[in-house]
Structure 1
Amino acid sequence: MNRTEVLPGVWHLEEDYRVYCTLVQGETLALLWDTGQGRTDLAAYVAQQVPTPCLVLNSHGHSDHIGGNFRFPQVYAHRGDWPLLAAYARLTGRETPVCPLEPGQSFALGGRRAEVISLAGHTKGSVGLLLAGEGFFLAGDGLNQTLLLLGAEAAPLSQLRQTLEAVLRLPFAHYLSSHAPHPLPKAQVAVHLHHLDQLRLEDPSRPGPYGPRVCRSQYREQGSRSVLLIDRGLVGEENCLP
């Protein structure tokens, strides 16, 4: 398990190659943000690392972030992604009780507080965690440098725009995404927002596992880069370049 302490008591954990979870320790309570693909026994690892009880929260419902849920007695997730959790439980035969995780909800950890923020876009139920007063944000896949809006679980581009605008108003300077090893500057969010005004959608040169349903757009701004992979159904075939 590779881990990096990004703030005092906040560790970014590489559960599998380029798949990260985050462990936040307060004085009386800890919080595990995502459970990875389930290849590592995170429950045992957390039990060795933290001296307090630990809550488990899912940033969204994709399998590479909920795969280890079965190792814990319960998890929190946004209701918008409960169908994804249920589908994964049917596929694996591993079901974990799920508690609702709603924007505006907060968790007092003792000496620090985590506030739930909507990040609808990547999925309709994507959420982030603002570490109040610490200038730091946990974003899951909602603000990756490459944003994916694929499948029925993705929100439309109009919702992504609303999400990015709201995030820019939040009081933080840096954030963690679930597929990047180090914190990213808040300015990356603005780059994504500006990208939405400069979309140039085309077929990706290597569509990978997403197949022909994907359009790709790239945007650069003052040394920063934003990439969007978008389901054709969210933008319409006529908006994709031949």
Structure 2
Amino acid sequence: MKDTFAALILSALTASSGVYAQADIESFCADLPRPAYSALEKRPESTGWFELYTVAPGVTAIYEPFQWQEVISYLIEGENRAILFDTGNGIEDIKAVVDRLTDKPVTVINSHSHYDHVGGNHQFGRILSVSTDFSREMEHGLPNEAVHEELSGPALCKSPPSGATAETHAIKPYSITGTVKEGDVIDLGGRKLEILQLPGHTSDAIALLERETGYLWIGDTYYNGPIWLFAPQTDLKAYRASIARLVALAPTLTKLFPAHNTAVEDPSELARVQAAFEKVVTTDLAPDAVEDGMAEFRFDGFSFIMRPDNRHIGDE
């Protein structure tokens, strides 16, 4: 990893360190599991770290509820092959879980290359990605100093079973073995997944669309919670265009599968996200909170965290 890039990641994490307040994590842990999970089928393969839920036929949400990110990866199975959409924080062994769920060949595709979605990539031999400077840079992993807070006391509801600690945690290097691009269709046998490139949250952000069912795996472009739009890789104008594209697509969708917090959301939420985003970037709406140089704009069910000095992008 280039030192300058690692420094940018570390700077972004430090700037958002207010999320690690002890009172916040205690409240967060006390509210688990989220009520939305009571409506889902919990899989018996769940472990002491990963909770597994059937969210659609052939689709398993691999949820990490005991760490503040609440990352959700998805195993999507066809008749012949499977896709693992994201690999989590890399705190515990996600490959062992996947191996218990399927004996089909598994290919990893990441919703984007932020550290909390590529942490288990190093365990897999086939990884597909869009080709951007950011995705290629992240192949080098991240050092302990950039991600140690992910295992700090205030970030955890329980200690990882493996004994991983803040002193040892890092994102291990991995190798991208092939590329995908907008419009590519991956045939798993009996189900086809289309690549949608959705830059904004990062330059390499994508979604997976199953047109036949109306399912959309949406990554971090939207989830129920604070949406990070402050990282060095964020482009607010691109995010605006990506959200507008999804709102136009929403009437054909039946389920959203986000990468954090809750595994199933209604596509109608996308129009609310678009309206809220426009209010933030085109008006003088006051933030609901400002901490460590970041402004948070809160709406019902989600919020945006931004750098206040570049939030206005006009109404073009």
RMSD over aligned CA atoms reads 2.2
Unpaired segments of 5 or more residues in structure 1?
none
Q: What is the aligned partner in structure 2 of residue 191 from structure 1?
A: 272
CA positional deviation for 1:77 = 2.1
Q: 2:76 aligns with which of 24, 27, 35?
A: 24
CA positional deviation for 1:95 = 2.2
Report the AA paired with residue 131 of structure 1: E
Asked if 1:4 corresponds to 2:84, the answer is no
Deviates more, 1:99-108 or 1:85-94: 85-94
Pick the structure with more strand per residue.
1
CA positional deviation for 1:89 = 5.1
CA positional deviation for 1:182 = 3.1
Alignment of 1:61-76 (within 5 A): 61-76=113-128
Q: Deviation per CA, 1:94-133, whole angstroms, max 9, x where unpaired?
A: 3221122322111100110111112212112111111221
Secondary structure, in 3 states, of the residue corresponding to 1:192? helix
Q: What is the aligned partner in structure 1 of residue 172 from structure 2?
A: 94
Report the AA paired with residue 232 of structure 2: A
TM-score, normalised to structure 1, is 0.85
Q: What is the aligned partner in structure 1 of residue 24 from structure 2?
A: none
Number of matched residues?
A: 227
Q: Greater RCO between the two (CA within 8 Å, min separation 6)? A: 2
CA positional deviation for 1:230 = 1.1
Q: In 1, are the aligned partners of 2:194 and 2:209 still within 8 Å (CA)?
A: yes
Q: In 2, are the aligned partners of 1:59 and 1:140 still within 8 Å (CA)?
A: yes
Q: In 2, are the aligned partners of 1:195 and 1:226 still within 8 Å (CA)?
A: no
Q: In 2, are the aligned partners of 1:173 and 1:186 still within 8 Å (CA)?
A: yes
Q: What is the aligned partner in structure 1 of residue 229 from structure 2?
A: 149
Pick the structure with more helix per residue.
2
Q: Deviation per CA, 1:141-189, whole angstroms, max 9, x where unpaired?
A: 1112332111220012x22121111112222122011112331111111
Report the AA paired with residue 172 of structure 1: L
Q: Which has the larger radius of gyration?
A: 2
Q: 2:99 aligns with which of 44, 47, 59?
A: 47
Runs (4 or more) in structure 1 with deviation over 6 Å come to none
Q: Percent identity?
A: 22
**Judging changes above 3 Å, is the alpha-carbon distance between structure 1 residues 45 and 196 closer, same or farther for their aligned structure 2 residues?**
closer
Unpaired segments of 5 or more residues in structure 2?
1-49, 145-169
Q: In 1, are the aligned partners of 2:141 and 2:174 still within 8 Å (CA)?
A: no
Q: What is the aligned partner in structure 2 of residue 105 from structure 1?
A: 184
Q: What is the aligned partner in structure 2 of residue 165 from structure 1?
A: 244
